[in-house]
A and B are shown apart, each in its own frame.
Chain A
Amino acid sequence: MRFKMILASSLSKKIYMSIAGLVWSAFLLVHLLGNLQLLNPDRDPFNKYSYFLTHQTGEFIYLAEFLLAFFLITHFLYAIWVQIGNWRARPQGYSMVRWAKNTSKRSLGSVTMIYTGALVLIFLVLHLIHFKYGEVVYYTPKGYTYQIRDMYFTVMEFFRNPVNVFFYVAVMVLLGFHLSHGAWSAFQSLGLSGKRFTPFIYTIGVLFAIVVAVGFVFLPLWIYFTRGGAL
């Protein structure tokens, strides 16, 4: 196959978007599991985990960050490319559209992918500003001889503000919609489909979206209502 086609055919574009989307889906799950340590009233485990990721994994953290950024940019650029092509493919729209029910997998999530995706991307930039490049407070955990960053404190402070809580909850719901179509769709785009497998992966995809969205919605709400913001 010619190089241009490998890079730019309509099927190839979706293949790369799928791979990038699945990498990010996996990252989201790990991120959620790590964040569950925020439920612990003791701040040390979360901060030690955070310190481990940033300071005790050597060069690995840079590789991970590079890969995440690379896949994010791939996903983003191909999404724009695909979407423009799709809009151009029907210059004159229908005056009336009624979704075929039956076996169709069209949903609120599937028709809003480009919009939920764009909003989540904006969120991601703000999210990095809020936390990774946010307020840095150092403290010495029990049994340590040196100071590490108190990320736990930064998070708790941030979610004292109900505006922040609302913003995070809203975007995580949008992320849920994005994943409700994106997760199973990635498998279909990679050709992983079949009469038995497709219904199975569709269910798994929706469940995954619910777990991730509910998890990330729950955390800020829980912090707000149990750690002072609402008290």
Chain B
Amino acid sequence: MEKKKLTIHLKVWRQKDADSKGKFVSYTVNDVNPDMSFLEMLDVLNEELIKKDEEPIEFDNDCREGICGMCGSVINGTAHGPQSGMTTCDVRMRMFKDGETIVVEPFRARAFPVIKDLAVDRSALDRIMSKGGYTSVRTGGVPEALSLPVPKPNADEAMDMAACIGCGACVAACPNASAALFVGAKVSHLALLPQGRPEAARRVERMVAQMDEEGFGACSNHGECEAVCPKEISITAIGRMRREYLRAMFK
């Protein structure tokens, strides 16, 4: 059976570049298939805009299956849309009511300058990664499995932390625009594994220093980040980062 098509009103943030002042522009998209993803709906709108010889809305996206971390906007006041554990590309139009007005804004933070419209520059996260999101070891062949024992609970938790796709929703949702969950996940991921231990102190120190330099806020433990994280990374990651930091303080 054909599902009822939706009419969606949009208020989209349009901004020419980082230096210009942006504003909201209203659009109406008719005949929206409820099974469309949110980004497909924006594609439909963009096609119409192009046909009318208007500038299409710029938004970041790549895999559109919730794994690459490229997409991200604040939909109706919540990063990555109304449901938790999702990226923006996972959002489906059936989550909205017919005739609803949806407000779409870019991730906002001093450290995330707007490139254009909904696309923001998140290379601040890459610069944090470059300060310690790795292990500096020579990698040879694959070692014998039992030569480096990893307790199963640690392996599991490290995997949960490694699930971070660096989308920046934690920063976007944080009332302080803090990157604590991102850095917490990266620090925890390697701190939990024997390969990451030797550089644990150096890593947390350098990554936190870079995080502060990029102009992110300080974590106030509101926990909004955990609630919007598409990979549902727990704020215990932030707790672990602080434990690693306290250890590093005395080194």
A residues at B contact (CB < 8 Å): 1, 5-6, 9-15, 82, 85-86, 88-106, 110-111, 113, 181, 184-185, 188-195, 198
In the bound complex, what is the Cα–Cα distance between A70 and B210 (angstroms)? 30
Question: Hey, which chain A residues are within 8 Å of B240, CB to CB?
Answer: 191, 193
Contact, CB under 8 Å: B227 / A96? no
Contact, CB under 8 Å: B208 / A11? yes
Partner of B235, one of A11, A15, A100, A198: A198
Question: Hey, which chain A residues are within 8 Å of B110, CB to CB?
Answer: 88-91
Interface segment out of the listed B39-47, B70-78, B88-96? B70-78
State the Cβ distance, B244 to closest chain A Cβ, in Å: 8
In the bound complex, what is the Cα–Cα distance between A5 and B211 (angstroms)? 12
Could you name 20 residue pairs across A and B whose Cβ atoms are closer than 8 Å?
A: A5-B205, A9-B212, A11-B208, A11-B218, A82-B220, A86-B178, A86-B218, A89-B109, A89-B216, A90-B177, A92-B108, A96-B103, A99-B224, A100-B79, A101-B227, A104-B222, A104-B226, A193-B236, A193-B239, A195-B234
In the bound complex, what is the Cα–Cα distance between A189 and B246 (angstroms)? 11
Contact, CB under 8 Å: B173 / A100? yes
Partner of A110, one of B222, B239, B246, B249: B222
Question: Hey, which chain B residues are within 8 Å of A1, CB to CB?
Answer: 205, 248-249, 251
In the bound complex, what is the Cα–Cα distance between A5 and B205 (angstroms)? 9
Q: Which residue of B lies closest to A187 (CB)?
A: B239
State the Cβ distance, B50 to closest chain A Cβ, in Å: 26
Question: Hey, which chain B residues are within 8 Å of A12, CB to CB?
Answer: 245, 249
In the bound complex, what is the Cα–Cα distance between A11 and B207 (angstroms)? 12
In the bound complex, what is the Cα–Cα distance between A55 and B96 (angstroms)? 69
- 7 more CB-based (< 8 A) A-B contacts, given A10-B211, A85-B217, A191-B240: A6-B249, A11-B245, A14-B220, A98-B77, A104-B224, A188-B239, A190-B242
Contact, CB under 8 Å: B235 / A193? yes
CB contact list, B101-134 vs A, under 8 A: 103, 105, 108-111
Instruction: Tell whether A9 pairs with B208 under 8 Å between CB atoms, given A89-B178, A92-B108.
Output: yes
B56 within 8 Å of A by Cβ? no
Q: Which residue of A lies closest to B78 (CB)?
A: A98
Which of B110, B177, B218 has its CB near the most chain A CB atoms (within 10 A)? B218
Contact, CB under 8 Å: B224 / A106? yes
Q: What sequence of 0s and 1s flags, for each residue 200-241 of chain B, a beta carbon within 8 Å of any chain A beta carbon?
A: 000001001101100111111111101110000011101111
Partner of B223, one of A82, A88, A95, A103: A103
| Number of chain B residues close to chain A: CB under 8 A | 52
Question: Hey, which chain B residues are within 8 Å of A92, CB to CB?
Answer: 108
B residues at A contact (CB < 8 Å): 24, 74, 76-79, 82, 84, 103, 105, 108-111, 173, 175-178, 180, 205, 208-209, 211-212, 215-224, 226-228, 234-236, 238-243, 245-246, 248-249, 251
Question: Hey, which chain A residues are within 8 Å of B109, CB to CB?
Answer: 89-90
Contact, CB under 8 Å: A10 / B178? yes
State the Cβ distance, B22 to closest chain A Cβ, in Å: 8
Question: Hey, which chain A residues are within 8 Å of B216, CB to CB?
Answer: 10, 89
Partner of B221, one of A10, A82, A188: A188
Question: Hey, which chain B residues are within 8 Å of A95, CB to CB?
Answer: 24, 103, 105
Question: Hey, which chain A residues are within 8 Å of B238, CB to CB?
Answer: 188, 193
State the Cβ distance, B112 to closest chain A Cβ, in Å: 9
Q: Which residue of B lies closest to A82 (CB)?
A: B218
Partner of A11, one of B24, B105, B242: B242
In the bound complex, what is the Cα–Cα distance between A99 and B219 (angstroms)? 16
In the bound complex, what is the Cα–Cα distance between A97 and B177 (angstroms)? 13
State the Cβ distance, B209 to closest chain A Cβ, in Å: 6
Question: Hey, which chain B residues are within 8 Å of A89, CB to CB?
Answer: 109-111, 176-178, 215-217
Contact, CB under 8 Å: B223 / A105? yes
State the Cβ distance, B46 to closest chain A Cβ, in Å: 22
Partner of B217, one of A90, A93, A96: A90
Contact, CB under 8 Å: B226 / A103? yes
State the Cβ distance, B240 to closest chain A Cβ, in Å: 7
Question: Hey, which chain A residues are within 8 Å of B178, CB to CB?
Answer: 10, 86, 89
In the bound complex, what is the Cα–Cα distance between A110 and B235 (angstroms)? 16
Contact, CB under 8 Å: A96 / B223? no
Contact, CB under 8 Å: B239 / A100? no
State the Cβ distance, B249 to closest chain A Cβ, in Å: 5
Contact, CB under 8 Å: B221 / A185? yes
Contact, CB under 8 Å: A194 / B212? no
Contact, CB under 8 Å: A194 / B227? no
In the bound complex, what is the Cα–Cα distance between A94 and B106 (angstroms)? 9
